[in-house]
Amino acid sequence: MSQKFATVALAMAAVALVLVFLLLPSPPPPAKATVPRQASAAAAAATTSADPGSAITATFSGPLGLASAPAPVVAWEDRLDQLLTTEADAATTVRGLVSSMRQLPPEAQEQYAAHAVNLCGDGQFGLLGEIYLNVQTPQAVTETIFSDLLNRPDTIKLPLLAKTLRNAAHPMAGKAEEILRTYIALEPGTIPPNGWEQAVDAYLKR
């Protein structure tokens, strides 16, 4: 009898222990670390810049993180129209044409050069002379300037022709030499003893 009572007591104690564990409150979840807003923004920006394949490619600037808008691209035809329809004087237009044409494709440079030689005064021809003497200039542009050069006064034309002969690889070197020989009255195949530029100086001082 006493053994049966003891068994029942143990069973009731076990049930009570289980009930105690079930009724205990569950522990609270661990607190999440709070990241400041500025640190989060900096981390996001670092992630974007570190990943070249990211879909976000805008560069953020300013306190609101607004992307700066790219400068509008103006077609060279539109830029040419702007330069030719402006109310600026011819000298200013020529400077604009010359400075703009350096970054253009060859066919565009030819059109810019054609307008520049028509508007360029004798006193400003040095701007075109720099382009003409550059062997990297497209040949069509060089020929456009050369053709206009032949209509300029001798004081502009002959010195620039002489400078052309400094570089035997210049596309207009052969024609420049022929013209200078005619002016200076040299026999074919002969070269002025003191060079072409001094020969031109002597000719212009006559």
Does the structure show a pLDDT above 50 at 35? no
Q: Enter the tokens of residue 53.
A: 């394949």
Which residue carries 């360029």 as its tokens?
120
pLDDT at 98: 92
Segment (H or E) for 204: helix 196-204
From CA 105, how far away is CA 25, in angstroms rounded? 79
Report the share of the chain in percent with pLDDT over 90.
48
pLDDT digits (tens, 9 = 90+) for 42-81: 444 444 444 433 333 444 344 433 444 444 556 888 888 8
How confident is the prediction for the chain on average, in pLDDT? 77
Give whole-number Cα distances, 2 to 8, 13, 15, 80, in Å. 10, 16, 20, 116
Segment (H or E) for 198: helix 196-204
> CB of 120 within 8 A of CB of 112?
no
Q: Which segments of the chain are extended strands (E)?
A: 60-61, 66-67
pLDDT digits (tens, 9 = 90+) for 153-191: 999 999 999 999 999 999 999 999 999 999 998 887 788
> CB of 97 within 8 A of CB of 116?
yes
Q: What is the mean pLDDT of residues 15-32?
A: 54
pLDDT at 191: 85
